[in-house]
């Protein structure tokens, strides 16, 4: 038996096709409501520990293990140097340490690294977002969907088609956020960029579907949708492959943050485009084509 | 297209350019072939600069019955006397946006001033305020409100990385501290761009005629035609500024106007006596304790450099200098050293001063003294201009002339000056410390990315071949991917761009995922048979249909990335911009090229059916 990924497009009713994406969205809504979305240091701020004036340099791995051992959590360690002496900068999540604990941390770290206490400084690091950039961010996030809607509306000149594309595209973002919540992946500048990039990637499969169903020639709408789905799966497949390989081969946290929402979003795009959006587009088309007497 | 690709390779490689030592140390042989690319902190390391914002919160007690008049007067006096912004803050140290800036029952008001709280500043403030209010010294703190801190961060971002492509990151560290991270910025450049407040004053007849707020805009600098090794920085005045200039300068033919940027209002100069012999223009005036340009105002001289100064031999501190410095220590708290002084001199100085060496600009003692005073230029009012002003003509455009040892240096200085003047800071900033950051991942990341790129390339090729079973289509897809990579990197090498992790990942993602568009074109064209394709307009219609899908999704990504670029999230801005660039290049150049390739391949009958 040959596995046909377009089976549902031939055999399922449009109502039945709506179920998987809606159940998935409901599940992720519950995840977000219960678990929330963790914020990274980019947004919530953090703690910076600077050690200066060391005679020799520990390796990055040693320094990381040492600081993580003292703090009991994940930290990002950078090696530094100045004027022939060495140091390290360790960034941890916001600890909001009381003064007493902070002093203890300084003395422990100084002892472990063989430096004096005044060579260790602990700072509360703010978010990278200043109040001005928060305002800019709010404006940009409000303007982006409007501009996208205009672009899609101009392309299709149909409110219904544009609405269904926008709905499906944003549902991908929502599902990816839900997945981040489920997996405990932090919302950072990297994952934010990934989520925004997902909008563009999701758009082309949705446009393929609507173009095939609404404006395609030859065959029944469901056959055209199935043909478009095959193209869409290849398109998603190549994108997924590239993202997966970049994620697999690189060890950068930033790249992980960037690719996680894209990879998960690509998977949800299949469900939201070829089930939800296909159901909306086909129901309209079929209603139009079925004789009134029936 | 081949020519564009070749030019791109040449621009990335640039064999005629020296390899940056730091890049060679981190990237090894890769650096030989990427001389045109500028790598960021993550790849080749960079610097972290700890900046301290010079601001303090002063607490005053007013007599409630004198409010609001006394409050307003004190604010005006402090603004004029300290030459700084005065901002009301609440008891939490945050700027007051609404309501009264003081407590009307207790008469307590908190004001943020753009200077560090030192004994000298507090004495000066008490002198200035007099009996109008009592300064509560025990409540004074070196602090900065988040509004000011955020303003400073935004302005510094604009100064150093206006397009957001250099990968500069600024983070508040609590208190008055800001952490700044950037690849490849020389310490001197960092100090100039980050450590200068940009407070402009133009003096005429030893009085301030114009301030920074009277400048509407500062235009790009140009080489001076009148003077060798000099650059001119044109600027335009506001209506109020033009009016003040007309009133002040009308009929003052040949009078000098002296332009200061960041004149040290809290400092005294200590100049080594041995340097003063044979100064061509300046002379030290004992009784005024200032440097004065020889001559009379109507001859372009006779102006004072508006910073008090003491002169002493390099080996011993003279009694006159010590007595003057002691006298000034109640109102001034920095001592700017011009020259070389023995330990005996330094130890004998009043302890209330903080000492700062003024770096020698390299063009003689006069330039050194002017630099220490913040004097950037002296403009003489021409007789014709003086006459026109007298007749009521309004002049809006003025020019600052910057002279250095070479024309190139003068232009560089003028450019920096333009940035500083266009992006004035509300408070002073000082560089507290600088460290060199080791590369986070360096060549390891590049190697990883290279492997990822290679496997992606082969993987995509395999997928395309499995789908279409057409070697020429597969080769066309893969060739387009290579072209996209080369052209994108070529264009990036021409822009002021630092390639960090995010940007490099962006390049790979844009190219790897850009294959979507090629698949859509191929699918659209190969659906149906040769007859349908070869029908008049058949192929063209199909390609047009494919492009409609491609344009739609490209525009959506562009809008999303534009919003990300506008958000200004540090390194993500670079990612967004490189994605936008990649999309534009592919939509405008490589997609049409691929469509032509498919056209050519199918024209020879290689089509499914």
Residues of chain B with CATH 3.30.70: 46-185
pLDDT in tens, A51-62: 888 887 777 777
If one compares B515 and A22, the residue with the highest pLDDT of the two is: A22
- The pLDDT, as a whole number, for residue A97 is 66
Q: Determine the Cα angle at B442 with ends B437 and B445, to 5°.
A: 140
Q: Which of A77, A110, A125 is the last residue of a domain?
A: A125
Pull the structure tokens for residue A160: 């219904």
pLDDT band, residue B462 (cuts 50/70/90) = very high
- DSSP sequence for B55-101: -EEEEEE--GGGTTHHHHHHHHHHHHHHTS-EEEE-TTSPBP-SS-S
Strand partners for A47: A92, A124
Model pLDDT, residue A293: 42
Confidence of residue B185 (pLDDT cuts 50, 70, 90): low
Q: A197 in contact with B at a CB cutoff of 8 Å? A: yes
All residues of chain B having their beta carbon less than 8 Å from the beta carbon of residue A48 are 173, 179
CATH architecture of B46-185: 2-Layer Sandwich (3.30)
Q: Which residues of A touch B571 (CB under 8 A)?
A: 189, 254
What pLDDT shows up at residue B40?
74
Instruction: Kindly tell me if the per-residue pLDDT of B519 is higher than 60.
Output: yes
Mean pLDDT for B364-379 is 87
Same-domain check for residues A136 and A53: no
Which band of pLDDT confidence, cut at 50, 70 and 90, is reported for residue B371?
A: confident
- Structural domain harbouring A197: 7-40+129-289
Which pLDDT does position B295 carry in this prediction? 84
Answer whether A189 sits within 8 Å of B568, measured CB to CB: no
ipTM of this complex prediction, to 2 decimal places: 0.79
Share of chain B above pLDDT 90, in %: 10
Sheet holding B207-211, edge to edge: B207-211, B200-204, B256-261, B375-380
Among A274-278, B285-289, B332-336, whose mean pLDDT is lowest? B332-336
Are both A164 and A21 inside the same structural domain? yes
Same domain, A171 and A212: yes
Averaged pLDDT for residues A248-254 = 83
A175 shares its domain with A265: yes
User: Taking a contact as any Cβ pair under 8 Å apart, which residues of chain A between 222 and 241 contact chain B?
Assistant: 227, 231, 234-235, 237-239, 241
Same domain, A266 and A160: yes
Q: How far is CA B2 from the centre of its chain?
A: 38
Q: How far A139 CA sits from the closest chain B CA (Å)?
A: 9
Restricting to B residues 281-340, those with a Cβ less than 8 Å away from any Cβ of A are: none
Q: Is A107 in the same domain as A161?
A: no
Q: Are A204 and B460 an interchain contact pair (Cβ–Cβ within 8 Å)?
A: no
Of the pLDDT bands very low, low, confident and very high (cuts 50, 70, 90), residue B187 is low
CB contacts, 8 Å: A214 with chain B: none
| CATH architecture assigned to B2-40+440-603 | Up-down Bundle (1.20)
d(CA B395, CA B148): 34
What average pLDDT does range A267-286 have in this prediction? 89
Distance of alpha carbon B508 from alpha carbon B457, whole angstroms? 10
Long-range contacts of B147-150 (CB under 8 A, 24+ apart): B147/A131, B147/B87, B147/B94, B147/B95, B148/B53, B148/B55, B148/B87, B148/B95, B148/B112, B148/B426, B148/B427, B149/A130, B149/B53, B149/B178, B150/A130, B150/A131, B150/A132
Please say if the pLDDT value at position B404 is more than 80: no
Q: Which residue has the higher pLDDT, B186 or A49?
A: A49
Say what the pLDDT of residue A177 is: 92
Residue A183 and residue A136 share a domain: yes
Q: Give A 18-37 residues with CB within 8 A of chain B.
A: none
Residue A1 inside a domain? The answer is: no
* B470 and B463 Cβ atoms separated by less than 8 Å: no
DSSP state letter for A222: H
Q: What is the pLDDT of residue B312?
A: 93
Q: Determine contact: B529 vs chain A, CB below 8 A.
A: no
- pLDDT (mean) for B472-489: 89
Structural domain total, chain A: 2
Q: Which residue of A has its CA nearest to B576?
A: A193
Asked whether residue A34 falls in the same domain as residue A168, the answer is yes
Q: Which residue of B has its CA nearest to A132?
A: B150
Choice between B31 and A22, residue whose per-residue pLDDT is larger: A22
Same domain, A261 and A175: yes
Q: Which CATH number is A164's domain given?
A: 1.20.1640.10
**Mind listing the pLDDT tens digit for each residue in B86-132?**
889 988 888 887 888 888 888 899 999 888 888 878 888 888 888 88
Range name among A8-17, B171-180, B217-226, B316-325 with the lowest pLDDT average: B171-180
Please provide the DSSP assignment of B309-338 as one string. EEEE-SSS--HHHHHHHHHHTTT--EEEEE
Chain B closest CA to A149's CA: distance in Å? 9
Residue A169 lies in a domain: yes
B552 touches chain A (CB under 8 A): yes
pLDDT at A101 over 60: yes
Residue where a domain stops, chosen among A125, A155, A170: A125
Size of interface A-B (CB pairs under 8 A): 246
pLDDT at B305: 92
Statement to judge: residues A173 and A284 lie in one domain: yes
Query: What number is the average pLDDT over the span B521-538?
Result: 65
At B14, phi and psi to the nearest 5?
40, 65
Confidence tier at B606 by pLDDT (50, 70, 90): very low
Across B39-43, B212-216, B302-306, B409-413, the highest mean pLDDT is recorded for B302-306
> What is residue B29's three-state secondary structure?
coil
**Sequence-separated (6 or more) residues with CB below 8 Å from residue B21:** none
In this structure, the answer to whether residues A215 and A163 fall within a common structural domain is yes
Q: CA–CA separation, B567 vs B430, rounded Å?
A: 28
All CATH 1.20.1640.10 domain ranges of chain B, comma separated, are 2-40+440-603
What is the pLDDT at residue B609? 33
Query: What is the chain B residue with the closest CA to A251?
Result: B445
Return residues 455-474 of B near A (CB < 8 Å): 455-456, 459-460, 463-464, 467
Calculate how close chain B gets to A196, using CA atoms only, in Å: 5
A285 shares contact with chain B (CB less than 8 Å): no
A277-286, B39-48, B266-275: least confidently modelled range: B39-48
The alpha-carbon gap from B444 to the nearest alpha carbon of chain A, in Å, equals 9
Q: Do B509 and A246 touch (CB under 8 A)?
A: yes
Q: A204–B448: do the CB atoms touch at under 8 Å?
A: no
Answer yes or no: is A2 within a domain: no
- Contact criterion met (CB < 8 Å) for A128 and B171: yes
Domain containing residue A112: CATH number: 3.30.70.260
User: Which residue, of A125, A151, A167, is where some domain finishes?
Assistant: A125
Measure CB to CB from residue A189 to each of B527, B563, B571 and give the nearest one. Answer: B571
Interface contact flag, A203 B562, Cβ < 8 Å:
no
Distance between CA atoms of B150 and A132, rounded to whole angstroms? Answer: 7
**Confidence band, pLDDT 50/70/90 cuts, at residue A25:** very high
With cut-offs at 50, 70 and 90, classify the pLDDT of residue A270: very high
pLDDT tens digit sequence for A151-202: 888 877 888 888 888 888 889 999 999 999 999 888 887 888 888 888 878 8
Joined together, the tokens standing for residue B105 give: 């029952």
A30 and A101 both lie in a single domain? no
State chain B's mean pLDDT as an integer: 82
Residue A289 is predicted with a pLDDT of 60
């Amino acid at each position: 038996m040959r596995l046909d990924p377009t089976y549902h497009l031939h055999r399922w009713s449009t109502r039945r096709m709506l179920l998987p994406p809606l159940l998935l969205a409901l599940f992720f809504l519950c995840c977000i409501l219960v678990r929330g979305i963790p914020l990274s240091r980019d947004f919530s701020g953090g703690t910076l520990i600077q050690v200066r004036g060391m005679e020799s340099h520990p390796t990055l791995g040693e320094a990381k293990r040492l600081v993580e051992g003292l703090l009991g959590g994940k930290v990002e360690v950078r090696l530094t140097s100045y004027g022939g002496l060495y140091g390290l900068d360790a960034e941890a999540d916001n600890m909001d340490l009381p003064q007493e604990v902070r002093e203890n941390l300084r003395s422990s770290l100084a002892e472990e690294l063989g430096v004096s206490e005044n060579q260790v400084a602990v700072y509360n690091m703010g978010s990278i977002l200043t109040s001005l950039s928060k305002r800019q961010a709010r404006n940009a996030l409000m303007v982006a969907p409007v501009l996208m809607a205009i672009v899609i509306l101009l392309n299709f000149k149909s409110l219904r088609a544009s609405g269904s594309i926008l709905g499906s595209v944003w549902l991908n973002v929502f599902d990816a956020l839900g997945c981040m919540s489920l997996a405990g992946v932090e919302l950072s500048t990297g994952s934010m960029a990934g989520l925004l990039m997902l909008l563009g990637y999701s758009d082309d499969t949705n446009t393929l579907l609507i173009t095939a169903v609404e404006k395609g020639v030859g065959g029944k709408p469901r056959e055209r949708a199935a043909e478009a789905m095959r193209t869409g799966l290849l398109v998603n497949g190549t994108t997924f492959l590239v993202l997966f390989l970049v994620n697999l081969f690189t060890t950068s946290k930033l790249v992980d943050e960037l690719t996680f929402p894209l990879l998960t979003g690509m998977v949800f795009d299949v469900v939201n485009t070829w089930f939800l959006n296909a159901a909306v587009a086909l129901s309209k088309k079929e209603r139009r084509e079925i004789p009134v007497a029936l | 297209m081949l020519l564009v690709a070749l030019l791109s390779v040449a621009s990335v490689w640039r064999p005629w350019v020296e390899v940056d030592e730091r890049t060679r140390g981190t990237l090894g042989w890769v650096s030989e072939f990427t001389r045109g690319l500028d790598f960021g902190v993550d790849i080749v390391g960079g610097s972290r600069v700890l900046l301290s914002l010079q601001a303090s919160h002063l607490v005053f007690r007013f007599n409630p019955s004198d409010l609001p008049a006394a409050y307003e007067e004190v604010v005006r006096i402090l603004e004029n006397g300290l030459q700084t912004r005065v901002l009301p803050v609440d008891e939490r140290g945050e700027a007051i946006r609404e309501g009264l800036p003081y407590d009307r029952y207790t008469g307590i008001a908190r004001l943020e001033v753009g200077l560090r709280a030192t004994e000298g500043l507090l004495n000066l403030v008490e002198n200035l305020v007099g009996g109008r209010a009592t300064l509560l010294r025990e409540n004074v703190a070196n602090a900065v409100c988040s509004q000011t801190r955020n303003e400073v961060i935004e302005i510094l971002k604009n100064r150093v990385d206006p397009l957001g492509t250099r990968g500069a990151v600024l983070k508040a560290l609590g208190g008055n501290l800001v952490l700044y991270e950037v690849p490849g910025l020389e310490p001197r450049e960092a100090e100039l761009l980050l450590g200068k407040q940009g407070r402009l004053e133009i003096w005429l007849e030893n009085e301030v005629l114009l301030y920074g707020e009277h400048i509407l805009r500062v235009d790009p600098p140009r080489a001076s035609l009148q003077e060798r090794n000099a650059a001119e920085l044109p600027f335009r005045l506001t209506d109020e500024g033009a009016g003040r200039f007309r009133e002040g300068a009308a009929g003052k033919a040949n009078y000098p106007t002296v332009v200061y940027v960041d004149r040290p209002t809290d400092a005294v100069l200590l100049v080594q006596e041995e340097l003063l012999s044979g100064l061509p223009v300046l002379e030290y005036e004992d009784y005024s304790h200032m440097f004065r340009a020889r001559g009379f105002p109507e001859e372009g001289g006779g102006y004072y450099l508006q910073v008090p100064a003491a002169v002493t031999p390099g080996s011993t501190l003279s009694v006159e200098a010590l007595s003057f410095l002691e006298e000034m220590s109640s109102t001034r708290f920095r001592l700017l050293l011009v020259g070389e002084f023995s330990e005996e001199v330094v130890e004998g100085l009043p302890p209330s001063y903080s000492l700062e060496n003024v770096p020698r600009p390299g063009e003689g003692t006069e330039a050194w003294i002017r630099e220490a005073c913040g004097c950037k230029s002296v403009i003489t009012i021409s007789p014709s201009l003086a006459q026109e002003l007298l007749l009521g003509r309004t002049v809006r455009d003025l020019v600052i002339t910057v002279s250095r040892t070479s024309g190139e240096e003068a232009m560089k200085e003028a450019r920096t000056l333009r940035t500083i003047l266009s992006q004035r800071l509300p408070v002073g900033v000082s560089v507290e410390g600088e460290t060199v950051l080791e590369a986070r991942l360096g060549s390891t990341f590049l190697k990883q990315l290279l492997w990822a790129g290679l496997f992606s390339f082969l993987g995509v090729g395999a997928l395309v071949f499995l789908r279409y079973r057409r070697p020429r289509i597969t080769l066309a897809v893969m060739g387009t991917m290579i072209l996209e990579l080369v052209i994108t990197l070529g264009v990036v090498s021409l822009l002021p761009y630092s390639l960090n992790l995010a940007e490099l990942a962006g390049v790979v993602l844009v190219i790897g995922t850009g294959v979507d568009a090629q698949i859509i074109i191929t699918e659209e064209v190969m659906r149906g048979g040769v007859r349908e394709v070869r029908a008049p307009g058949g192929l063209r219609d199909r390609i047009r249909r494919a492009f409609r899908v491609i344009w739609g999704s490209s525009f959506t990504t562009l809008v999303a990335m534009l919003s990300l670029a506008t958000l200004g999230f540090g390194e993500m801005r670079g990612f967004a911009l490189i994605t936008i660039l990649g999309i534009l290049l592919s939509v405008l150049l490589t997609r049409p090229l691929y469509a032509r390739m498919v056209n050519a391949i199918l024209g020879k009958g290689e089509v499914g059916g």
